[in-house]
Amino acid sequence: TIGNLAQIPSYILGGVLGRKMDKKKLVYISAVLFLVGGLLVIPCSSNIWLVLLCRFIVGCGSGMLILISTAILPDFFEGKELSSTIGMVLAGSGFWGFIFANLSGQIGNAFGWKSAYLLHLYAVIPLALFAILIPNQPLIKKTLEEADKKSPETRTKAPINPMVFVYTLAGMASFMLVQGMWSNSSIWITGTIGGTVAQAGIASSVISLFSFLGRMVFGKVYGKLGRFTLHLNIVMLIIGMFIASSATTFPVALAAIAFVGVAMGFVAPTALNRCIEVAPENQETAQAITSIGFALGNFVSTYWKWFLNKVSNGTLSSVFHINTYFCIGFLALAFLISFAMIRKEHQVSAS
């Protein structure tokens, strides 16, 4: 988890630097950190503290790369095209993360665990394509021109729209609760559902697939529903949770996974799109805040699962079900609060 922890300060640093320096230069710096930290693990493998330091450096580099990969998009896309591109970028990161996680395991088994770290060299390919294909100057200048009408002092001190924090908290809670749920999916499938180990493996990989599909179709959905994509997202999660809480067979469990997977594919791009729209002058900082929320949600989910294990004490059938009931309650409340959020958003925008 040291890499995930390192991403949190890197989001803060990336948000600050993203407003003060060229984003392409920031990509190169982040990529160097990612490559150096990933490859230095091999000669430093005899010292656990150096290994942890290397993993921390990798986390810093990958964190800024994740942030800039979406923060740079408003410079080149807008409107429906922007929301579609954000969905595809996030889908691509999840897809390739899944591919390389499995590939590293295969290489590690065949050639030893150190050899798996050579996969960090793959970053050279997208980095070269980025340097060649991405223009040095933004193509979308509307927001920049509007910001330039203000003095530099006013632009620097422009407050963050409070709705950014609301969307961040919603995303953080979703990641914490749902990650806590699906980290127990194997126990749920083999225990409560009575499935096989092979079926548990299928369930664990299928949620990543459906999350990928959700992010791929996100742009079209967001283009039609706009901010109300959030409500669709919540409804789909509630449906998936209800199906999961009553599932007794493996096919029904997979249906629950499909609903939850697609809905979770919507969470990150919905929050990022809303933050860009409500805070266009501070979109780098807004995206950094939102990314920190996602990272904290993932990080805290481990401790949330530990808490559920403590409070369950055999009173309910499984920790999975306890978490499901928490999720349903939170989502139902979030659905009601979201209408107040939209009203507040209008008030803040008007002011």
What is the tens place of the pLDDT at every residue in 6-34?
777 887 777 777 677 777 788 888 888 88
Percent of the chain whose predicted confidence (pLDDT) is above 70: 80
Q: Provide the pLDDT confidence category of residue 59 given band limits of 50, 70 and 90.
A: confident
- Taken in order 310, 312, 314, 317, the sign of the CA dihedral is negative
- Token code pair at residue 9: 């300060």
Tell me the range of 41-45, 137-141, 199-203, 324-328 where mean pLDDT is highest.
41-45
CB count within 10 Å of CB 32 equals: 14
pLDDT higher than 70, residue 342: no
pLDDT given for residue 132 in this prediction: 78
- Which residues lie closer than 8 Å to 120 by C-beta, 6 or more apart? 34, 35, 38, 39, 58
Q: What is the pLDDT of residues 263-306, one digit of tens each?
A: 888 888 888 888 777 777 777 788 888 888 888 887 787 777 77
Tell me the range of 11-25, 222-236, 329-343 where mean pLDDT is highest.
222-236
pLDDT higher than 70, residue 153: no
- Token code pair at residue 243: 């199906």
pLDDT given for residue 180 in this prediction: 59
pLDDT given for residue 347 in this prediction: 61
pLDDT higher than 60, residue 151: no
Give which of 137, 77, 8 is closest to 276, Cα–Cα.
77
**Rounded to 5°, angle at Cα 59 from 292 and 132:** 100
Question: Quick check: pTM over 0.85?
Answer: no
Q: What is the pLDDT of residues 116-139, one digit of tens each?
A: 778 778 878 877 887 777 776 665
Distance CA 136, CA 22 (A): 8
The 10 Å CB-count burial string (b at 16+, else e) for 44-83 is eeeeeeebebbbbbbbbbbbbbbbbbbbbbbbebbeeebb
pLDDT higher than 60, residue 150: no
Distance CA 296, CA 171 (A): 10
Tell me the range of 176-180, 219-223, 274-278 where mean pLDDT is highest.
219-223
> Average model confidence (pLDDT) for the chain?
76
Radius of gyration (C-alpha) of the chain in whole angstroms: 21
pLDDT given for residue 291 in this prediction: 82
Instruction: Give the C-alpha distances (Å, rounded to integers) separating 204 from 217, 248, 253.
Output: 21, 17, 11
Q: Provide the pLDDT confidence category of residue 181 given band limits of 50, 70 and 90.
A: low
Distance CA 81, CA 183 (A): 34
pLDDT given for residue 152 in this prediction: 46
Question: CB of 241 within 8 A of CB of 130?
Answer: no
Measure the CA dihedral 235/241/295/100, to 10°. Answer: -110
Q: Provide the pLDDT confidence category of residue 154 given band limits of 50, 70 and 90.
A: very low
First to last CA, the chain: 42
- Residue range 35-42: mean pLDDT, rounded: 86
pLDDT given for residue 350 in this prediction: 56
DSSP state of 183: T
Q: Provide the pLDDT confidence category of residue 310 given band limits of 50, 70 and 90.
A: confident
- Matching residue, tokens 């004490």: 313
> What's at 261, amino acid-wise?
G
